[in-house]
Amino acid sequence: MTLTLANHPITAFFAGPKTLLDGSRLQVDLEELRRYLLEDQRLESVDLEIVGPGDSCRVGYVFDIVEPRAKETGAGPDFPGILSPIAAAGQGTTHVLRGTAVAVVDGGQPGGERGYTSRRGGIAKILEMSGPPSQASSYGNLRHLVVVPHPHPEVARHSVLNALRLASVKASVYLARTAQGKTPDSTQVFDLDGAGEDGRKDLPRVAYIGQIHGHQHGTEVDENILYGGNTRGMLPVPLHPNEWLDGAVVVSYSWGARGLDTYFHQNHPIILDLYRLHEAKEITFAGVVATTSSGQLDELNRNCMVAAQIVKHTFKADGVIITKYAGGAPHSDMFETARLCEDLGIKTAIMVSDTAPDRRAESAALMNIPGVDAVVNVSEAADISWPAPAVETVIAGNPEVETLLADLKELPGVSVCGVTNNQGASRLQSIIY
Amino acid sequence: MRVVHYLNQFFGGIGGEEQAGLPPEIRPGAVGPGRLLEQVLGDGTQVVTTIICGDNYAAENVQEVTAMVTQQVKEAQAELFVAGPCFQAGRYGTAAGAVCAAVQEDLGIPAVTAMAGENPGVDLYRESIYIVDSGDDVSRMRDVLADMARLANKLAAQGVIGRPADEGYFSQGKLRSEFVENTAARRLTGMLLSKMRGEAFEAEVPIKSIEAVPAPPPVPDMSRATVAIVTDGGLVPKGNPDQIPRAFAQVWGAYSIDGMDSLQAGEYEVAHGGYDNRPVEQDPHRLVPVDVLRQMELDGLVGKLHPEFLSTTGNSNPLENSRRMGREMAARLIEAGVDSVILTST
């Protein structure tokens, strides 16, 4: 399976009479895009704005951030199971508009809807485009198309969320289709074929197990996570890493999904780094497993066992990296999977996230299992905040949030998209003093 | 800079174990290691007062000694307080930790001491004061004092204190979020490769065992036992009378189930942001099984269902806080004569 990313760096992104890509200049006909998004009859209206690095602008609450990507004509499905019929992702050419993103705004209220609740009842995810918070975020230096869908009031909440998801991938593909047939600035080829070839037989085999959802938050029946499926009852699934990068996986709904965005499924930092090491012939990248953290003990034991067995017997891995969904409970599944892998003779490295409100190291050490001793500690920014600068523009999903964001005095680090990240992108580390 | 220095009877040059009962003595100027300390702290520093106290006296009269030392430091108008170094001397280390913590707390000036890792003073005081790692070799006195002086000068100048390993002090167990050079992904792959190659690597969390909770003795006869239900799943009466927060709860509640055969959906809600609350709100027995226990009480399988259940939110709760609430809950239940508790979580 060979995936070619055709990279088109964008240096200017602006509204104009026709949607087109002219070299590195991306012009978008917002009216045409609006009509396309409003084909979804659940939506009453859609606000569209383009914001860029340094703009005095605050956006909230963010539903998801997606990188604009589109398959070359005939090369395969775009976001299969959501936008395209189900077919394997991860092969052929995908055009990527580098330096841009689609940020979709949710007009719902955090804490107001069951199963989609804010952890502390406070503010949810914010995109900040200026000042120190934007510099600390992976998204502050991107040019964003901000999409604010307004559903008809009678549409049920789960269906509203489904409409937001659909709008996110439609806008992403709509923008990137401007690159179809165009010569990219650069290409990246992702290919694991030849993993068994000579010259690799002495290399350690390394796999990745990533949680794509946490079932303590439940899912909606029409929630799209893996190939459009909602992951209920899902056992761990072995995937080709290219599928993960190429639209098979999007983030689940949750105001609590801190540090998870579809952008870093498409640019998954761990998968990309394992590819780097594979190409450098330091390892053989053996494969990836998508799993979930569980809501019940039987489910936990079953999922952890199956994931460890896949890595041992299907991937024949010597080492594995395991990461978790946002929050505390998913640590249990991650540690148990790591314990089982170590028992099978597979070396593990895992990534915990520290939310300790009292900033005591003792509170961050959630578990201790002999052998599970390679632990990276991502801070969830409990002790980071910035004074919120007055901004010229607030883009929000409803008037109450607009007022709240405009009057904000302080921006907690945990609420700024792209500061902390459970997919490996963050440079924020919890350090023990 | 004016400095007050604390020494035990041995390093103060008074005597060995036979002088361990010595009450505190005040000497003007530097004594023993204090002269070296003055040198390594640099120009303009002066040890104005030295306090020498016997190890046993300090151990037996902690409050008196800390109060007296604090008073002396205040009177001396010191800007820095130094105790030790104490190396492996346990009573000395414990006293040095106590006086440093008291001076820092009461007077707001920096205090520094030094000990070997095995010194019991380290675990007692590492979280509240800076303790330089002296090792156990007394012949390294000059190096240890130099490490202490470097840290003390930084503290006095209100400079940025670096990481424990870089500055040479014992970790205070405090977490600080910092932006670092490598992404978490890079750190993960790097750590895994080191581990697979058998090379050294350092975990980014404290790898220490969490104390095991011993299993209590079995209840001899459940048919005579009073059973209580305690949950950290956040079930509360509608309106959340104790305002238990959805995370980081500092409080817990006790709610009557006296005479009730079951809990009515709609009369309860869930204060917990860590799971999908809907199944419990549809049927509170999924978390607090009053119905089954009441039936068991009727059937004589349990003696009595305690007439209230206790509830809090376990979500993101620091250990120290959880321990406190656990102790408070246990005390209430023991006072009420409860023999056995069913703990439910989510």
For B322, which residue in chain A has the nearest alpha carbon? A363
**pLDDT (0 to 100) of residue A362:** 78
In chain A, what's the furthest Cα-to-Cα distance? 63
Residues ≥6 apart with Cβ < 8 Å to A280? none
Same domain as A311, residue A332: yes
**pLDDT (0 to 100) of residue A258:** 76
Which residues in chain A touch residue B345, judged by CB atoms under 8 angstroms apart? none
Q: Which residue has the tokens 């009057």?
A: A407
Strand pairing of B25-28 and B46-53?
antiparallel
- Which residue in A131, A108, A102 sits closest to A401, CA to CA? A108
d(CA A50, CA A148): 11
Residues of the domain holding A7: 2-188+386-410
The answer to whether residue A5 scores a pLDDT higher than 90 is yes
d(CA A301, CA A392): 51
For range A264-293, the mean pLDDT = 97
The answer to whether residue A266 scores a pLDDT higher than 80 is yes
> Residue A432 domain-assigned?
no
**pLDDT (0 to 100) of residue B320:** 80
> Residue A427 domain-assigned?
no
The answer to whether residue A254 scores a pLDDT higher than 90 is no
**pLDDT (0 to 100) of residue A354:** 85
> Residue A426 domain-assigned?
no
Contact between A389 and A56 (Cβ < 8 Å) = yes
d(CA A293, CA B230): 25
d(CA A69, CA A67): 6
Q: A369 at the B interface (CB within 8 A)?
A: no
For B190, which residue in chain A has the nearest alpha carbon? A349
Nearest to B195 among A360, A374, A433 (CB): A374
> Do A424 and B180 lie within an 8 Å CB cutoff?
no
Which residues in chain B touch residue A277, judged by CB atoms under 8 angstroms apart? 189, 193
Examine the fold and report which residue of A353, A377, A401 is the final residue of a domain before the chain moves on: A377
> Do B173 and A217 lie within an 8 Å CB cutoff?
no
Same domain as A288, residue A215: yes
The answer to whether residue A117 scores a pLDDT higher than 90 is no
Same domain as A222, residue A93: no
> Residue A276 domain-assigned?
yes
In this predicted model, what pLDDT tens digit does every residue of A178-192 receive, in sequence order?
999 999 999 999 999
Q: A413 at the B interface (CB within 8 A)?
A: yes
Residues ≥6 apart with Cβ < 8 Å to B128? B101, B104, B105, B172
**pLDDT (0 to 100) of residue A255:** 61
Left, alpha or beta for A227 (phi > 0: left; psi -120 to 50: alpha)?
A: left
Most A CBs within 10 A among B123, B129, B171, B276, hence the mutation to make, goes to B276
**pLDDT (0 to 100) of residue A369:** 87
pLDDT along chain B (346 residues), means of 10: 97 95 96 96 94 96 96 97 96 97 97 96 94 96 96 94 94 93 98 98 80 87 97 96 90 96 96 86 97 97 97 86 93 97 93
Same domain as A353, residue A262: yes
In this predicted model, what pLDDT tens digit does every residue of A125-162 receive, in sequence order?
999 999 999 999 999 999 999 999 999 999 998 899 99
How is A135-197 classified by DSSP, letter by letter? Answer: HHSTTTTSEEEEEEEEE-TTS-HHHHHHHHHHHHHHHHHHHHGGGTTSPPSEEEEEE-TTTTS
> How close is the nearest chain B Cα to the Cα of A417, in Å?
15
Phi, psi of A58 (to 5 degrees): -130, 135
d(CA A257, CA A254): 5
In chain A, the number of structural domains is 2
> Do A269 and B321 lie within an 8 Å CB cutoff?
no
Higher model confidence: residue A374 or residue A119?
A374
> How close is the nearest chain A Cα to the Cα of B165, in Å?
9
Which residues in chain B touch residue A122, judged by CB atoms under 8 angstroms apart? none
> Do A256 and B273 lie within an 8 Å CB cutoff?
yes
List the 69-88 stretch of B: residues with Cβ below 8 A of A: none
Same domain as A198, residue A115: no
For B166, which residue in chain A has the nearest alpha carbon? A433
Q: Which residue has the tokens 């055709």?
A: A6
Which residues in chain B touch residue A206, judged by CB atoms under 8 angstroms apart? 189, 192, 196
The answer to whether residue A408 scores a pLDDT higher than 50 is yes
Which residues in chain A touch residue B319, judged by CB atoms under 8 angstroms apart? 360, 362-363
Classified as helix, coil or strand, A356 is coil
Two tokens, residue A144: 């964003």
Torsion of CA A181, A186, A189, A190, to 10 degrees: -100
Length of chain B: 346
Which residues in chain A touch residue B171, judged by CB atoms under 8 angstroms apart? 361, 432-433
> Residue A423 domain-assigned?
no
The answer to whether residue A257 scores a pLDDT higher than 70 is no
At position B49, the amino acid (one-letter code) is T
Same domain as A136, residue A76: yes
> How close is the nearest chain B Cα to the Cα of A276, in Å?
10
The answer to whether residue A115 scores a pLDDT higher than 80 is no
For B269, which residue in chain A has the nearest alpha carbon? A114
Most B CBs within 10 A among A362, A416, A420, hence the mutation to make, goes to A362
Which residues in chain B touch residue A363, judged by CB atoms under 8 angstroms apart? 175, 318-320
Same domain as A203, residue A175: no
In this predicted model, what pLDDT tens digit does every residue of A11-48 receive, in sequence order?
999 999 999 999 999 999 999 999 999 999 999 999 99
d(CA A2, CA A241): 10
**pLDDT (0 to 100) of residue B210:** 67
Same domain as A228, residue A359: yes
**pLDDT (0 to 100) of residue A247:** 98
Q: What band does A113 get if pLDDT is binned at 50, 70 and 90?
A: very low
List the 202-261 stretch of B: residues with Cβ below 8 A of A: 203-210, 245-248
Q: Sign of dihedral through CA atoms A239, A242, A245, A249?
A: negative
Nearest to B188 among A295, A382, A424 (CB): A424
> Do A328 and B179 lie within an 8 Å CB cutoff?
no
**pLDDT (0 to 100) of residue B248:** 84
The 3-class secondary structure across chain B, one letter per residue, is CEEEEEEECCCCCCCCHHHCCCCCEEEECCCCHHHHHHHHHCCCCEEEEEEEECHHHHHHCHHHHHHHHHHHHHHCCCCEEEECCCCCCHHHHHHHHHHHHHHHHHHCCCEEEEECCCCHHHHHHCCCCEEEECCCCHHHHHHHHHHHHHHHHHHHCCCCCCCHHHHCECCCCEEEEEECCCCHHHHHHHHHHHHHCCCCCCCCCCCCCCCCCCCCCCCCCHHHCEEEEEECECEEECCCCCCCCCCCCCCCEEEECCCCCCCCCCCEEECCCCCCCHHHHHCHHHCCCHHHHHHHHHCCCCCEECCEEEECECCCCCHHHHHHHHHHHHHHHHHCCCCEEEEECC
**pLDDT (0 to 100) of residue A341:** 98
**pLDDT (0 to 100) of residue B246:** 87
Q: What is the ipTM score, two decimals?
A: 0.95
> Do A119 and B248 lie within an 8 Å CB cutoff?
no
List the 137-166 stretch of B: residues with Cβ below 8 A of A: 161, 163-164
Q: Which long-range contacts (CB under 8 A, 24 or more apart) does A111-115 make?
A: A111/A255, A113/A157, A114/B276, A114/B277, A114/B278, A114/B281, A115/A217, A115/A218, A115/A219, A115/A220, A115/B276, A115/B278
Q: Which residue has the tokens 């979580």?
A: B345
Contact between B31 and B44 (Cβ < 8 Å) = no
> Residue A420 domain-assigned?
no
> How close is the nearest chain A Cα to the Cα of B342, in Å?
18
> How close is the nearest chain A Cα to the Cα of B136, in Å?
23
In this predicted model, what pLDDT tens digit does every residue of A207-221 receive, in sequence order?
999 999 999 878 889
Same domain as A204, residue A96: no
Same domain as A170, residue A254: no
Same domain as A51, residue A115: yes
> How close is the nearest chain B Cα to the Cα of A341, in Å?
13
Q: Sign of dihedral through CA atoms B214, B218, B224, B227?
A: positive
Same domain as A338, residue A262: yes
> Residue A280 domain-assigned?
yes
In chain B, what's the furthest Cα-to-Cα distance? 83
List the 64-93 stretch of A: residues with Cβ below 8 A of B: none
Give the count of alpha carbons within 13 A of A362, CB side only: 13
How is A230-261 classified by DSSP, letter by letter? Answer: --TTPPPEEE-HHHIIIIIB-PPP-TT-TT--
> How close is the nearest chain A Cα to the Cα of B17, in Å?
36
List the 53-72 stretch of B: residues with Cβ below 8 A of A: none
> How close is the nearest chain B Cα to the Cα of A268, in Å?
9
> Residue A433 domain-assigned?
no
